[in-house]
Structures are given as structure tokens and as C-alpha cells.
Structure 1
Amino acid sequence: MPVKLIAVDMDGTFLNSEKKYNKARFLKQYAQLKQRGIKFVAASGNPLYTLQAYFPEITDEIAFVAENGAYVTAENEEIHYSAYAPEVLKHMVSDLEAKYGSSVILCAKSCAYVRSDVTAKTLAKLNIYFKSIKQVDSLLDVKEPICKVTLTTVEHDFEAMEQYLKQQDYVKNRLTKAVSSGFGFIDLIQPNKHKAYGLAFLQERWGIADEDMLTIGDNNNDIEMIQKAGYGFAMSNAVPALKQVAKYHAKSNEQEGVLDIIDLVLQSKGFSHSLVSEPEVMS
């Protein structure tokens, strides 16, 4: 089956440790993908505005599955936005703000909300991933629709925070789901509103079946979209849980593993089920 859609995670996958990618190489690839009618999607836990900043040359042409699947756009058109029910959000925020204070981030369409007492250390970390931040005295004052709640572990122990969340009723009762998105963040996403959920809107729009989709990721929040795709790739630097469910594996984000996979697609080559080194011919 030919690949008709390529969806890539960003941090730890498309981007290297410096939050960069080989732009010259990719833009040449993208021109060929566009010519062949192969859709390119950036699928990330990052906000839309952060993702768009990585692709200034083609932002108007490509699609984004942002906020772990809750915010979907294509060619600058909003396809889907899913927000928490106000009563659920209030319950969660009341608890989390009391427990973790300025380590809580509310993700809205155009910005991320944090408390005004956020420390300089935490703010420095957040500025890397959230390119638009607004500070408020209390997160309960935010009236804008919120699609995701993020916790940063800059000043907390990751495992302790993870264990705390597992014990809370809003997680136990599946009003939200806690997933690690890597780099010291825990995302609270709406149940079943993951990256695969977001991609489904684009598949319907373009008439693309699961078996014609290629997805690439490195972390727990990529599991559903890797399982959904006919060609699901885990980076060599991926977490064990993702490697276990991925049908295929790519070189690391430091070795331009994603771009190597795109080359194989453009060359109509097949994929080895181990680390991609000697491609097989696709049938």
C-alpha cells in the first residue's frame, strides 16, 4: 500500500536535542511529498502556535494535530477543537493548584495560562515549549475553553507527581487521562482525545485509511497513533512502551531518523522491522 499521510511527533522525534531539524533537507522532501499528494502532519503535545513556528515556510499548507489531539487544523483551517467541560476542569484545577501551585499550566487555543507566582526557573523551561504565556493570579479565574492541563516537574519529583495523579478521583473515574509527554511534563488529556483521535479528523477529510498512514513517535503520548497506522514507527530513542507496540523502528532524532524514513517513502522503498538500515522493497 502506498503511504498517503505522514504524521510525526516533534520533541524527541522530528526535532533534535537543540529543538532543531535539517530544514533544507526537509523542505526538499516536502516539495516532493506535496507533488505526490502525500499529506504531512505535525502531531504533538505542543500548542498549535508553537508547532506553527517550526514551519514558517509551509504553515499555510500542512496540517497540525496539536495538544495531543485536542486541536486539529489543516491549511490554516480549524478542523476540530475539544475543550474540558467547565465543571470537570474546575474540579481538577482546584485540586492541582492547591497541590502544585505554579507548576500547573492551562492550555487554551492562543496561549498557556500559568500563575503569576511562577518561578523564574519554571518559566525558563516553559518558554521553550509554550511560545505564548499569560500569567494570572489564580488559574480558576481563566474563563477561556481549555483543551489540556499540563504539569511540569521542574520543581517536583516526576514519579511522586505521577503517583499522586493516579490516586485522584478525576483520574480514577476517567474524567481525564495522565500521560507522559517527555521532557519532565505530564499532560492531563481528555479521555480518548489522543493523537490518533485527532488524526482521524484529517483521515476523514482526505479519505485516507489507517493502512495508508505512517506515524513516527518516541513517547507514551504517541502510542495510539503508532498503533493506528499501517506503518507505525518508534524512534531508537523511544520509551520501551512505544517500542513494544511499534511495527517498525527508525534511527534516533539526533540522526535525522524521521528524514531517513521520508526518503524511503519517496524512493518507494520498504521498511525493515528493526532499525532501518537496509530497506526492503515494498510490495
Structure 2
Amino acid sequence: MAFDDAYGALTDHADDARWAYGTGFTDPLAGVPADLPDGVDRADLAAYCLMLGDDALIMSHRLQQWVTRAPELEDELAIANIGLDLLGQARLLLTRAGTAEGAGRDEDDLAYRREAHEFRNVRLAERDDADFAQLMARLLVFTTWRLALFDRLSGSRDPMLAAIAAKGVKELTYHRDYAAQWVVRIGDGTPLSHARMAAAISGVLPLAGELFQAHEVELRLAGVAVDPAVIRGEFDAVLAEVLTAATLEPAELPEVPATGRDGEHTAALTEILAEMQELARAVPGGAW
């Protein structure tokens, strides 16, 4: 189905009960082979897609909570669009996870019908932010890491993961630049804003070490997944450049063991899921 404009795609929803997501748009994965690469374990590929999909899903939800709270209307739109981009990534990755798993679960099952201990997102994605400086600091760390990861993942042996990553690189480039501009603007601003951003960076770094701890699933999927340790140098270089421009001190990331990847989360994730899954659990099998 083709439309001349996005409005037409949104309003003609006869082919999809979940019309609010939009229908009629070109499938970004059309023509991409869906078969699993030779020698790849189904469970491992499903677990890896869940990791990346859950990161995007939970971070997207946190960003949506900032709509109406941003300092300017333009920033509310920017944050909403970043959240929608991540939601789109989550949908593709959770769909791929369900296909790889082969148990009949789709993106809705994986998003709305799992408990907190079944989620595999990093803890960085689930943290709440007390102010805009904290949000931008966390977004900078998250997008700098994810962009470097997706850039390498675009060469994955799994054509589906490679296509999802290639699409995501374009989106994440904007996400990272947006966050970086705000970190510089706040850091290199007034004494008060500088102090706020310095505190925000210090507060988010303890959660960043987990991003580079390779999980056993990632190591078993050599050639399909990306060992996060290999992107640490790029991450450090970008973060240092942004912090220098923001007149902030260079930061050291503490080494911490992976936790979220193994289903160990903070109470914040339980609160997020209670809100996000409320309707789906109240109306099992419902479509909207």
C-alpha cells in the first residue's frame, strides 16, 4: 500500500487494528532474508535481540515521560521523535527475537507480557532523571554507546540484524548530536548550569561501565553480535571531546559487572512496566 503523505498512512487503518502505529509505510526490512545464518543458535540470537530491543523500548518510555517537561516546545518534539525512533528499533528487534525464538511470541508478547526479571536491558536505560541536565547526560552516554555498537552491527552475519542496525545508525547519529549539543550548552553556560551538568555526568557514569561488559551470549555470537569491549575506545574519545567542549573534567568509567543483561534490575523497571503494560494486561488480546 502506498500513500502520498504520512497522514494518509495514519488514517487508512483497515489493514491493521493497531493503526496508531501507522500503516502503509514502506517496510524497512522488505526483501531482507529472515532465515537464521548457518551455525547460529536460535536461543542466543533471540536473547541478543531482546537485549538490544529492551534497551530501546525502556529508553523510549523514559523519553516519552519528558514530553511536556522539556524547556522548549522544539525540545519536546525532538525528545518525542527520539523516543519514537527508539520505539521503532525496539519493534524490529523484538520481532526478530520472536522469530529467532520460534515459540510463537510476537513483539506485543515480548513487550507487554514479560515480568521485570525477564527483561534484558542495561540499567542505564531504566534510570529516572531528576532534571533536564540528567536526561541529556544519560542520553549522551546511551546514544554514543549505541551508535558505535550499531555501526559495527551493520556488518553482522545476520542480514536482519545488519539491516536494523544500518537503519538505526542514521537515527542514532542525530540522537547523539542532539544530546551532545545540550551537554555543551549546559556545561559551558552559567556557573549553576555548569554545576548541574557536572553532577549529571558524575551521576550517570556509574551506570555506564555495564555497557562494555561482554555477556556470554555476545561472545558466543561472534560475527553476528558485537563484543561491546571493542567500541570502548570510540566511546571514550567521543565522550572526552564533548566534555572538553562543555568545560567539564574528563570522566573515568568504573568497571562494573553486567546486571541488567541477566535480568537484575532496579525498582525503576518494575514501575515502568506497571505503567507501560497496564492496558495490555487489563485487556488481554485487545487491539488498539
Q: Sort the TM-score into its range (normalised by shorter chain).
A: under 0.3
The structure whose residues are more often helix, as a share, is 2
- TM-score norm. by structure 2 comes to 0.28
Bigger strand share: 1
